[in-house]
């Protein structure tokens, strides 16, 4: 197994890098997009609320693989040419943003409605009140689960293998089918994933215990 690791070191490391990059990018963008749609779900305008709602429900109930393949195979056909890594990261972003939107919305709802009203009566607009009063408090709910969200992202980023996204799983598949050491290769791949996911997940458990 050590032989397998050392002779394919470059492939594993570059796969590891792409996996990490894709997860970080997707986390960043899904946080922005997720918050945006969460706000849409609570604005006074009914049309915007429906848009927000539809977005969240649609992307929460369709497999990540379907979304990713759609971006890899269909979007380049009609809209713009994107490669596997980009398509995969966009898929991850959209999928995750729907879940983040749910968390942010729950955070917003948890803020006392009186605060919003008080802010409005002080002459703030809806957006000002949102920006300065409600959102800062809502994000207190959102930040802790982000660690778990990131762990999920790293795991889910393995769909990049379906679209030649050069990630860890993609490299693992290529190495496994060239060396015929299938199980050993995947054990190494698994260890690489655990290097990222286990520490974060243990840290999250630690945090939860401290907060509880």
Partner 1 sequence: MQNWIDAYSWINIRFLLQGLSVTILISVISVVLSFIFGSVLGIVRYSKIPYLSKIIGFIIDVIRNLPLLLIIFFVYFGLPAFGFKPDTIPAAILAMTVFESMMIAEIIRSGIMAVDIGQMEASRAMGMTFTQAMWHVVLPQAYKKMIPALVSQFISLIKDTSLATIIVVPELMQHGQVVYGQDPNYIIPVFVAMALMYFVVCYALSLLSKYIDHRMA
Partner 2 sequence: MKRLKYLMLMITSLLLLLTLSACGSKPLSSQNILENDKQSKTITWGVKADTKLLGLIDVKDGKEKGFEIDLATALTKKMLGKDAKAKFVTVTSQSRIPLLKNGNIDAIIATMTITPERLKTIDFSDSYFDAGQSLLVKDDSSVKKVEDLNNKTIIGVVGSNSVENVKKFAPKAQVLQLPDYAQALTALKSGQGDALTTDNVILAGMAVNNPGYKLQGKAFTTEPYGIGINKGQDDFRKAVNKALKEVQQDGTYNKLIVKWFGNVPGFNYKEVLRK
CB 204 within 8 A of CB 147: yes
Which two tokens mark 33?
A: 């997009």
Binding status of residue 81 toward partner 2 by CB under 8 A? yes
* Helix (H) or strand (E) segment spanning residue 73: none
Contacts of 161 (CB under 8 A, 6+ apart): 167, 169, 170, 172, 173
CA distance 201 to 193: 12
Q: What angle do CA 6, 8, 13 make, to 5 degrees?
A: 95
Residue from 129, 142, 159, 163 in contact with partner 1 (CB under 8 A): 159
Residues 21-60 as x/- pattern, contact with partner 2 by CB under 8 A? ----------------------------------------
Residue from 23, 89, 93, 158 in contact with partner 1 (CB under 8 A): 158
Report which of 180, 207, 206, 194 is spatially closest to residue 151, judged by C-alpha positions: 194
Site for partner 2 in 173-202 (CB under 8 A): 173-174, 176-178, 180, 182
CA 70 to chain centre: 17
Smallest distance from partner 1 to CB 66, Å = 6
Residue from 72, 150, 192, 193 in contact with partner 2 (CB under 8 A): 72
Smallest distance from partner 2 to CB 174, Å = 6
Which residues contact partner 2 by CB under 8 A? 72-74, 76-77, 81, 83-84, 161-164, 170, 173-174, 176-178, 180, 182
């Amino acid at each position: 197994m050590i032989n397998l690791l050392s002779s394919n070191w470059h492939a594993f490391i570059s796969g590891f890098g792409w996996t990490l990059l894709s997860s970080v990018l997707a986390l960043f963008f899904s946080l922005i997009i997720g918050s945006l749609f969460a706000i849409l779900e609570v604005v006074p305008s009914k049309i915007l609320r429906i848009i927000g709602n539809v977005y969240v429900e649609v992307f929460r109930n369709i497999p990540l693989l379907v979304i990713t393949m759609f971006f890899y195979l269909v979007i380049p056909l009609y809209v713009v040419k994107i490669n596997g890594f980009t398509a995969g990261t966009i898929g991850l972003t959209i999928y995750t943003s729907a879940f983040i939107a749910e968390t942010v919305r729950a955070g917003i709802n948890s803020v006392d409605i009186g605060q919003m009203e008080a802010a409005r009566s002080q002459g703030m607009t809806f957006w000002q009140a949102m920006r300065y009063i409600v959102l800062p408090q809502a994000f207190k709910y959102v930040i802790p689960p982000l660690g778990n969200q990131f762990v999920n992202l790293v795991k889910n980023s393995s769909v990049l293998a379906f679209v030649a996204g050069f990630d860890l799983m993609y490299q693992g598949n290529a190495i496994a089918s060239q060396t015929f050491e299938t199980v050993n290769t995947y054990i190494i791949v698994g260890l690489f994933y655990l290097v990222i996911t286990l520490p974060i997940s243990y840290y999250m458990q630690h945090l939860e215990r401290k907060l509880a």
